[in-house]
Amino acid sequence: MSKHKYRINPDTLALERIEHDVLFWLRRSGAYLLGGLCLGIAFFFVFFMVFPSPREKQLLSQKQSLEAQLKVLDSKVDQMQVVMTDMSERDDNLYRVLFGAEPIPLASRQGAGHRIAYYEELEAMSNSQIAADLARKVDILEKEVYVQANSFNEIVDLARKQEVRMASIPAIQPVYNKDLKRVASGWGFRVHPIYHTRKFHYGMDFTAPTGTEVMATGQARVSFVGWKQGYGNTVILDHGFGYQTLYAHLFKSLVRVGQKVSRGDVIALVGNTGMSVGSHLHYEVHLRGTPVDPRNYYYIDLSPEDYDRMIQLSNNFGHTFD
């Protein structure tokens, strides 16, 4: 049985049954429908916000996986950076020092500063800090690897040159002189044997019979063969790296200009030509065009004890043979 609603008539004070027209019921039905719709929409948004969809779950899982991979990659880049820093320090403080090369400036090794705008763009994105830091580290590492690779190529080239340099620098006595009995006058002021005046002797004399073999003291190219005033028959070798050696008063030369020789090769025979008072070899070492003491260039031949003895013997001669 349906319930009816009543109201008191103010005029008659009697109860009267309330009758609703169609428009009332339409408005009430619309209100119920609108309320239900709003409630449904509210429930939908609450459900959507609280409970992710299968697609969202998949994307979230992928995002978490990518974040984990980024963190692992970031850790690996940090480890690589430690190794690269160690390599850079050894390169600057050991390898380049060993071969006389200047260390590479830090600013040349690290070149990531030019991409600041790119990093700022990354920081505006999701997971910005990890991505930006990783990109910055990778850029620095990339530049360091490039610089280090070029540095190692340079070191290898320097090592090759150093090998040639060590083979080229004068390093033995020009005549066989194991017992040092052929050491005569050395570097310094001496009395000239002909003029009998004090004159600086820019070389070293080795007494030896005419025909004794004269050896190249380092790898070189023959730059001069012929007669030089005062020196007589002379051979000059160009060793490269600023070094030249001169062999004078020769009986005979056994090489020609342009010929390449190695340390120990016989290039001439001892003689008594030019301004000389006895059969001997006059030997000079020049560095960048300036004569230097030849006694500093026998390090392959002589032990420290023999070197000291040779110095004493060469200083005992107050005169020269040329």
- Compute the distance between CA of residue 102 and CA of residue 289 in angstroms, rounded to an integer: 25
pLDDT at residue 1, rounded to an integer = 46
**CATH class, 188-316 region:** mainly beta
Q: CB under 8 Å to 260, separation ≥6 — which residues?
A: 219, 220, 221, 222
Helices 128-168 + 116-123 axis angle, to 10 = 150
Backbone phi, then psi, for 19, in 5-degree steps?
-110, 125
pLDDT at residue 164, rounded to an integer = 83
For the chain, give the percent of residues with pLDDT over 70: 68
- Compute the distance between CA of residue 182 and CA of residue 283 in angstroms, rounded to an integer: 13
Domain ranges of the chain: 6-50, 67-168, 188-316
Per-residue pLDDT of 154-184, as tens digits, reads: 777 777 777 788 889 898 999 988 777 777 7
- Compute the distance between CA of residue 308 and CA of residue 185 in angstroms, rounded to an integer: 15
CB atoms within 10 A of CB 140: 18
- Give the total residue count for the chain: 322
pLDDT at residue 187, rounded to an integer = 73
pLDDT at residue 265, rounded to an integer = 96
pTM, to two decimals: 0.53
On the 0-12 / 13-18 / 19+ scale of CB atoms within 10 A, 240 is: middle
Q: How many helices (H) and strands (E) does the chain have?
A: 7, 14
Below-70 pLDDT ranges, the chain: 1-4, 6-7, 9, 11-13, 15-16, 19-21, 47-53, 56, 83, 90-101, 106-133, 135, 189-198, 313-322
**First CA to last CA across the chain, in angstroms?**
151
